Amino acid sequence: MNKQIIRNAKDEIFYEASLDQENGWIYINWIGDIEIEDVKRGTEAYLELLAISGSRKLLNDNSLATSNFLDVNEWIEKNIVPIAIQSGLRYMAQVLSPKFIVRFSAVDLGLRMKPVEFQAFKEIKSAEKWLRSKD
């Protein structure tokens, strides 16, 4: 499957997603300073990929993100999480940004993901290892 790529108003890529069929997860890479409306566009695109793939696992990579996502987490909790769960999401590995406020936003999101099993990681290799250990 080809990558999903979404650009912002400045024509910069802020979201890349792909289905990793070998590992059975969807990988999303968030890049740079991302506006709230762009986060919404990206999470809605993820739902489309999830519906097509039926994947139970998400590898959500914020290592290149520089934005604070706190303002959109409640919207994600109410509008994205229930649909993702209904579509089969069970496990989410979150790769944290080196930027503190982005890390805090990601952990806050994890608290809102119930009943999805959520784990945050400083590096992608650890996140991948954890996801591989899940059914």
Residue ranges and CATH numbers for the domains of the chain are 4-132 (3.30.750.24)
**What are the phi and psi torsion angles at 103 (to 5°)?**
-60, -45
105-124: buried (b, 16+ CB within 10 Å) or exposed (e) per residue?
bbeebbeebeebebebbeee
Q: Is residue 135 scored above 60 in pLDDT?
A: yes
Mean pLDDT computed over 54-63? 96
- Confidence (pLDDT) at 68: 86
Position 101 confidence tier, pLDDT thresholds 50, 70, 90: confident
| Neighbouring C-beta atoms of residue 28, cutoff 10 Å | 21
**What are the phi and psi torsion angles at 32 (to 5°)?**
80, -155
> For residues 69 and 71, what is the distance between their CA atoms, to the nearest angstrom?
6
Q: Which of 72-81, 89-98, 99-108 has the lowest mean pLDDT?
A: 99-108
Q: Is residue 1 scored above 70 in pLDDT?
A: no
